[in-house]
Amino acid sequence: MAQGIREDRPGFYGDFFKQFYGVGVLSHPVKPETLEWTRAMAMQASLKATLDCAKSFSTTDFLPDLRAFEVPTLIIHGTGDKTVPIEAAGKAAHAGIPGSTLLEYSGAPHGLIVTEKARLTRDLLEFLAR
């Protein structure tokens, strides 16, 4: 990831955000404008901050901290997430946070805040109402 960002940052983001939103040969859950908007936003971050962030999220283990959660916790994760697979994150967080609720969105990518906007809004409001 770091090498791709260093060598061709705009090109890396172009490919990365297609995966982030689940864009493929047959799947187009977001418009090209959404991909370009996301790429343009990412390009505004400093190179150092971007590389530091990538290093941090790929090397920091937060699992031991999860036991400290004392508030109702909703975890929403797409089963089609190739950026951060559900087994490594969503299911691990659910197992580590006592009493948490895990909602799995079948086939949804990492960018489900865009691709599953209506369902996500409904599920968040429902959880907050409880």
Domain extents in the chain: 1-60, 62-130
Instruction: Walk along the chain (130 residues) and give the pLDDT tens digit of each residue.
Output: 999 999 999 999 999 999 999 999 888 999 999 999 999 999 999 999 999 999 998 899 999 999 999 999 999 999 999 999 999 999 999 999 999 999 999 999 999 999 999 999 999 999 999 9
Q: Which residues is 76 bridged to in the sheet?
A: 103
3-state secondary structure of 99: coil
CATH-assigned architecture of domain 62-130: 3-Layer(aba) Sandwich (3.40)
**Spatial distance between the Cα atoms of 73 and 129, rounded to a whole number of angstroms:** 13
* Structure letter (DSSP) for residue 98: T
Longest dimension (CA), the chain: 48
pTM: 0.89
Non-local (6+) Cβ contacts of 30 within 8 A are 21, 23, 111, 114, 115
Count, residues in the chain: 130
